[in-house]
Structure 1
Amino acid sequence: MPEITGRPVSLEEILEAREQRAERQRTARERFPGTALVSFTLNIAGPVKLFALAEQSFQEGCRSIARQLERNRVAVRFYKTCIQPAGCEALWAVDCDPLRLKALMCAVEDGGRLGRLFDIDVLNPAGEILSRTGLGIPRRRCLICDRPAHECARSRAHSPELLWHETNRIMREYFTEKRADEIAAMAGKSLLYEVSTTPKPGLVDRANSGAHRDMDLFHFIDSSAALIPHFRQLFLMGVHHAQDSPQRLFGCIRYPGMLAEDAMFAATKGVNTHKGLIFSLGILCAALGYSFANTLPCDTGALLSLCGRMASLSVEQDLDRVTVQNARTFGERLYLQTGSAGIRGEAAAGFPSVRHYGLPALRRFMAEGKSLNDAGALTLLILLGHVEDTNVISRRGLRAAQSVREEAAERMAQEPLPELDEIRVLDQRFIRENISPGGCADLLAITFMLYFLEQEAQDTANGEK
């Protein structure tokens, strides 16, 4: 999160800003007679009124007010913002009954924790400020003790330092929790896009259950819904451990990962739909939280490098401890036989298969105008041609897995690329031969997640978010 730094302003500057605000309101009334005005500022105690987090909160408030006007079909005649050391201000002139407008703005103020910092005045065409009590709406409450705010302000019940601390805590928590919700939703979306991509040879999709007899599309939907709050928690773990090393963070997310597995098995009645993805996507969500809290670069390369730093030491130590006697999983036994570290090795290396094959392929296919479904189906085949999929090895052995990989790589190097009908034929063959490239499916979900993050960043840069 941004550091709280800014220039203290004097009482004279604050009073001057109030006079300028009143003059802007008078000018707007003269220019747009008969309109009601919405005047928005932030309630920030103390001498520092302008800092990065305050500007971010102000922009959030402006978006909330604009959206409230839009959804209620209130015509905006004029809008202007003013950002200066004495604080941020916004002014709207609108065609709306002032009493109705006041009720709409009170809903914005009362609609969430950050709204407690919003000071939204509604002025009628005569320039009179409407009160909450005139509409039967309760007065604002104190940030500290929840008593009527005007009483605490008049008696100076709380120090400016305490109010400043609480104000900034509200801002920080709001944006942290908002981002946690966004990342968790994006992770859930990635799981659903992966399972919905059709056709996927040997895998559960919208057409069939692939080479699986114990799961179907609805198991994956149930699991995805159950995992969303756990991805949120893993993001917040990254935030809460922002002062720790990435390696320490990885150790701290292991237990929350186990809780996520419990939730998956409970939702699916014991079917393993997403265990590998809980590991890999959980690392990614924690890395996003860590980057968010430390304001680190969040481009794909930096993010995947952070994932690698998080996982590499622990994965190496875990694999070093594996012996013939204590190997419990197929992946551990395969590591002893071949040295293949599977998804653990992918994470420890910063997901190179996604970085070098999955994501470039998905970008390319989308740039060519393909749908996300078709681009995802082709991206899976790209991954299948480059990844040593331990799921395929566990079902069919090393030789068959190598043959599948070589066949996919050779076909995807040819033009034209496969049409969906050709992929459907391959799907039926994989079903007959009991081939299920679940490892590649997990990497496709990670690819979707990173692609969605890149699109979000692009939309933000273009001012669309």
Structure 2
Amino acid sequence: MAGPEDEKLAQTAVGALTGQLALAPKPGLPDPRDLGARVTHRDHRALRWSAKALAPGLAAMAAAARRTGEPTAGLRAELGAIGRSTEHTVGLTGGGHRGALWALGFLVAAAALTPGAKAPEVAATARRLAAFTDRGAPRRPSRGSTISVRYGAAGARGEARAGFPHVRRAVTALTAARAAGADETEAGLDALLTVMSTLQDTELLHTAGPHGLRHVQAGARGVLEAGGTATPAGRAALLALDADLHARAWSPRGSAGLLAGALFLDSLPIGRPAAPRWPA
């Protein structure tokens, strides 16, 4: 049974996800500008609502990790089972957040295993957890794993087994942007673009192929090289990239899920909000 600390971790993770959803403008991704889902085909309000459905599952993952006390094959299997059940529940509330659930599930469990730890140690513990095979996982490959094999991309599993390098890069980008004078929205967008600039996003590979992925990566790098979203040149480059991706209907959803993981790690130790939050 989940205790107060488990519930707190879960609510912090959900807050990180809703903080990610609140950021705008996010190139190719749902944000508060598109409430009718005319552009992204994902209703932003529905995504906010369904994000809350992750909380019980994430609390159960934290409780399982706290009870086990260390990364084990048994804990990995239990996390997988909880994750699949949570995914089903989220589907009943409107769906979405599969990538975020993958990242946040590992990171919440790792945070429960290392109370009071900061981002690097939590990520290292998540890597140890992800190294185990989920014995209960369906044998039928997912679309993401199929795309990973086809294009040689790390995918969600590879990201977790490497200790979430893009999540850690995003945390570093948040810190650097704040130090340079960016506000929380600008820092969050710079962190998103940092992930987009190098991630082999399997969603983009599926919809746009390798050429499209390189196009998006180059666009994200262009914003950062122009000075980031806190500068006039960077802001102009961001708006141009946003218009381009919406026109092409290309969505870097993998990057969005990892940004939610970064915002969660950035909030550790629990207690200091790291991103804009929608009201509960």
- Which TM-score tier does this pair reach, normalised by the shorter chain? 0.7 to 0.9
Residue 363 (structure 1) aligns with: 175
Q: 1:210 Cα shift?
A: 7.7
Q: 1:276 Cα shift?
A: 1.3
RCO higher in 1 or 2 (8 Å CA, sep ≥ 6)?
2
Distance in 2, Cα, partners of 1:238 & 1:318: 17
Residue 278 (structure 2) aligns with: none
1:227 aligns with 2:227: no
Match of 2:262 among 406, 427, 447: 447
Match of 1:274 among 86, 97, 119: 97
Cα pair 1:211 1:435 within 8 Å, conserved: no
1:409 aligns with 2:224: no
Residue 259 (structure 1) aligns with: 85
Distance in 1, Cα, partners of 2:136 & 2:165: 20
Residue 217 (structure 1) aligns with: 44
Distance in 2, Cα, partners of 1:186 & 1:257: 17
Q: Which moved more, 1:198-207 or 1:366-375?
A: 366-375
Residue 152 (structure 2) aligns with: 339
Cα pair 1:210 1:431 within 8 Å, conserved: no
Q: 1:374 Cα shift?
A: 1.7
- Structure with the bigger percentage of strand: 1
Cα pair 1:250 1:283 within 8 Å, conserved: no
1:312/1:318 CA distance change after superposition, 3 Å: farther
Q: Secondary structure at the match of 1:212?
A: coil
Residue 114 (structure 2) aligns with: 291
Q: 1:410 Cα shift?
A: 4.0
Q: Deviations over 1:238-259 (max 9, x none)?
A: 11111x5433311111111111
Match of 2:245 among 427, 430, 452: 430
1:187 aligns with 2:2: no
Q: Deviations over 1:19-45 (max 9, x none)?
A: xxxxxxxxxxxxxxxxxxxxxxxxxxx
**Mapping of 1:389-404 within 5 angstroms?**
389-404=201-216
Q: 1:453 Cα shift?
A: 1.1
Q: Deviations over 1:245-301 (max 9, x none)?
A: 433311111111111111111111xx3x10111111011111122223xxxx61211
TM-score of the aligned structures, taking structure 1 as reference length? 0.54
Distance in 2, Cα, partners of 1:307 & 1:434: 33
Give the letter for the 1:259 counterpart: S
Distance in 2, Cα, partners of 1:333 & 1:347: 17
1:217/1:443 CA distance change after superposition, 3 Å: same
Cα pair 2:81 2:136 within 8 Å, conserved: no
Identity %: 24
Match of 1:384 among 189, 196, 218: 196
Q: Which moved more, 1:341-350 or 1:413-422?
A: 413-422
Give the letter for the 1:427 counterpart: D
Distance in 2, Cα, partners of 1:452 & 1:210: 32
Give the letter for the 1:303 counterpart: V
Aligned residues: 268
1:210/1:429 CA distance change after superposition, 3 Å: farther
Match of 2:130 among 311, 331, 347: 311
1:237 aligns with 2:52: no
1:238/1:210 CA distance change after superposition, 3 Å: farther
1:178 aligns with 2:4: yes
Residue 276 (structure 2) aligns with: none
Instruction: Give the ranges of 4+ consecutive aligned residues of structure 1 lying more than 6 Å apart after TM superposition.
Output: none
Q: Secondary structure at the match of 2:32?
A: coil
Cα pair 2:28 2:245 within 8 Å, conserved: yes
Instruction: Give the superposed CA RMSD.
Output: 2.6
Residue 101 (structure 1) aligns with: none
Cα pair 2:80 2:136 within 8 Å, conserved: no
Distance in 2, Cα, partners of 1:211 & 1:398: 23
- Structure with the bigger percentage of helix: 2
Distance in 2, Cα, partners of 1:358 & 1:318: 31
TM-score of the aligned structures, taking structure 2 as reference length? 0.86
Structure number with larger C-alpha Rg: 1
Residue 142 (structure 2) aligns with: 329
Q: Secondary structure at the match of 2:159?
A: helix
Distance in 2, Cα, partners of 1:369 & 1:182: 30
